[in-house]
């Protein structure tokens, strides 16, 4: 075996997702020749630890990518739009964690458990889907292959870490203030287009990302559009309600699916038990089901509460939980990067 090493850039290295990417590159022994840590001017100058060495974070500029083979972006959509084309110009493959390119018809949108074949078709940029979409399609793919999904109704219970360190800090601070009998002054969530903010501690906010013209939020529309693109099936109808809850990490989802064909609940259990990247946790007799607290820190998507709809025999209800910073972001991206290097190394 002829192992190659790669020059890797992480853009947004100090962010909540960037930090998880670094941890994964380290723990998975990713074959790195040189690691470049990039960020906005604001975070540049900090030093981050990688494999026991301090690496200085540099400000990302169009010329930061000379000699880079793989660039992992998670510094927001504007940074990706401005810099990913420069990384491509320098010959890098970009794996982009933002919403910048996901629905671009000539960019692939990849979840390795669902459409790994698309990785080979990239034009320099591979888009990583939205966290809520990733965990849902990873769990639904084996069922779609077997029975054909006609319709999905999903409600999410999303953690604050998706909105970054500041949102985590705000949720914890507000919680303490309320327990101490103080007033809270919301200033981060929801992240929308207006300066209007709401309390997240001890609350549920039915807004993630900004509102679009049709009354759905952008997060909800991402779930609708990305699901069709990743599954490669425009006929799947999706309707979503995305809600922020006061959990640090781990998104939970109540998902109702309707199939085109009849299904057998035991077969659904079997299909999900054998699905790659999916762990079935479904034992009502033991009060056992997926929980955000259990999913955090793990790469898998956890599925449980499987039950047939009482009014529609082709309807199935389920509960899907995963670590939004891992499978929902950093792990999905590093998984794609591993597939690319394994192919180049002739192992796949
Ligand atoms: O990748 O939780 O499109 O506020 C944007 C919203 C990631 C999560 C994306 C959040 C998301 C984020």
Q: How much of the chain exceeds pLDDT 70, in percent?
A: 99
Is residue 109 domain-shared with residue 241, that is, in the same domain? Answer: no
pTM attached to this predicted model? 0.97
> Which residue, by CA, sits nearest to atom 5 of ligand 1?
209
Is residue 138 domain-shared with residue 73, that is, in the same domain? Answer: no
Asked whether residue 217 is assigned to any structural domain, the reply reads yes
**CATH number of the CATH domain containing 28:** 3.40.50.720
> Which residue, by CA, sits nearest to atom 7 of ligand 1?
162
The H or E element that residue 80 is part of is: helix 77-89
Is residue 188 domain-shared with residue 261, that is, in the same domain? Answer: yes
Is residue 56 domain-shared with residue 180, that is, in the same domain? Answer: no
> Which residue, by CA, sits nearest to atom 8 of ligand 1?
162
Is residue 76 domain-shared with residue 150, that is, in the same domain? Answer: no
Distance of CA 248 to the CA centre of its chain: 15
Q: How far, in Å, CA of 110 to CA of 117, rounded?
A: 9
Angle of the 131-147 helix axis to the 265-274 helix axis, nearest 10: 120
Contacts (Cβ under 8 Å, ≥6 apart) of 198: 186, 189, 190, 205
Residues of the chain with pLDDT under 70: 1-2, 347-348
pLDDT value, residue 2: 53
pLDDT value, residue 1: 43
Asked whether residue 216 is assigned to any structural domain, the reply reads yes
pLDDT value, residue 59: 97
Is residue 50 domain-shared with residue 77, that is, in the same domain? Answer: yes
Residue 6: strand, helix, or coil = strand
Is residue 244 domain-shared with residue 334, that is, in the same domain? Answer: no
- Ligand 1 near 221 CB (within 6 A): no
Asked whether residue 1 is assigned to any structural domain, the reply reads no
pLDDT value, residue 348: 54
Q: How far is the CA of 58 from the centre of ligand 1 (A)?
A: 24
- Ligand 1 near 191 CB (within 6 A): yes
Domain with 63 in it: 6-128+329-344
- Ligand 1 near 188 CB (within 6 A): no
- Ligand 1 near 16 CB (within 6 A): no
Q: How far is the CA of 12 from the centre of ligand 1 (A)?
A: 14
Is residue 171 domain-shared with residue 150, that is, in the same domain? Answer: yes
pLDDT value, residue 3: 73
**CATH number of the CATH domain containing 319:** 3.30.360.10
The catalytic residues are 131, 251
- Our count of domains for the chain comes to 2
- Ligand 1 near 130 CB (within 6 A): yes
State pLDDT tens for residues 275-319.
Answer: 999 999 999 999 999 999 999 999 999 999 999 999 999 999 999
């Amino acid at each position: 075996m002829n192992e190659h090493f790669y020059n890797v850039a992480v853009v947004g290295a100090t962010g909540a997702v960037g930090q998880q990417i670094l941890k994964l590159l380290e723990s998975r022994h990713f074959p790195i020749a040189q690691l470049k840590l990039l960020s906005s001017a604001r975070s540049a100058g900090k030093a981050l630890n990688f494999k026991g060495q301090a690496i200085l974070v540099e400000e990302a500029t169009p010329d930061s990518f000379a000699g880079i083979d793989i660039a992992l972006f998670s510094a927001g959509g504007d940074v990706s739009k401005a810099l990913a084309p420069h990384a491509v110009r320098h010959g890098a493959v970009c794996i982009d964690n933002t919403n910048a390119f996901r629905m671009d018809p000539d960019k692939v949108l990849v979840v390795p458990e669902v459409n790994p074949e698309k990785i080979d078709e990239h034009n320099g940029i591979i888009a990583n889907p939205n966290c809520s979409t990733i965990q849902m399609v990873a769990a639904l793919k084996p069922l779609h292959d077997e029975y054909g999904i006609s319709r999905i109704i999903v409600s999410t219970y999303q953690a604050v870490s998706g909105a970054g360190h500041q949102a985590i800090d705000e949720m914890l601070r507000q919680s303490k203030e309320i327990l101490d009998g103080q007033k809270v002054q919301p200033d981060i969530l929801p992240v929308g287009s207006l300066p209007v903010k709401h309390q997240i501690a001890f609350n549920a906010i039915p807004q993630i990302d900004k509102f679009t013209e049709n009354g759905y939020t952008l997060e909800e529309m991402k779930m609708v559009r990305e699901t069709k693109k990743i599954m490669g099936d425009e006929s799947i109808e999706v309707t979503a309600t995305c809600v922020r809850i006061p959990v640090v990490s781990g998104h939970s989802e109540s998902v109702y699916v309707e199939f085109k064909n009849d299904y057998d609940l035991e077969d659904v259990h079997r299909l999900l038990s054998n699905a790659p990247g999916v762990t079935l946790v479904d034992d009502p007799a033991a009060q056992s089901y997926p929980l955000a607290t259990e999913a955090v820190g793990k790469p898998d998507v956890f599925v449980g509460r499987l039950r047939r709809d009482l009014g529609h025999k082709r309807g199935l209800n389920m509960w899907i939980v995963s670590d939004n910073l891992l499978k929902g972001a950093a792990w999905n991206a590093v998984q794609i990067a591993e597939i690319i290097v394994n192919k180049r190394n002739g192992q796949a």
